[in-house]
Amino acid sequence: MPRTYEHLNRYEREVIAQMLKEKYSLSQIGRHLGRSPSTIWREFRRNRVRGRYYPRPANGLAQSRLQLARKPQKVMGASKEQVETLLAKYLVSRTD
């Protein structure tokens, strides 16, 4: 069976938070969600706030990291001067 990975979604984060609150183990949570216990542990470790796991901030933190990890897109078919002109117009419009 090939390994595939899907990011945890908001619902899964809500389940993790609830099950942690009810003192379920990471293994039990993983089995319930069909995920590896190490996935649950990494989620908890990366997204806890002051030692506690809150699903909404966890989702926001995960989304922020996802955005930072994405490579910037290349501008195809535009010269450097065209890009600089568009960028300058954009920056001017943001200050108004």
**Is 0.75 surpassed by the pTM of this model?**
no
For the chain, give every domain's residue range: 1-70
Predicted local distance difference test score (pLDDT) of residue 40: 95
pLDDT in tens, 59-90: 988 888 888 877 776 667 778 788 888 888 87
Percent of the chain with pLDDT over 90: 45
**Count of C-beta atoms within a 10 Å radius of residue 37:** 14
pLDDT in tens, 9-29: 999 999 999 999 999 999 999
DSSP 66-90: HHHHSPPPP-TT--HHHHHHHHHHH
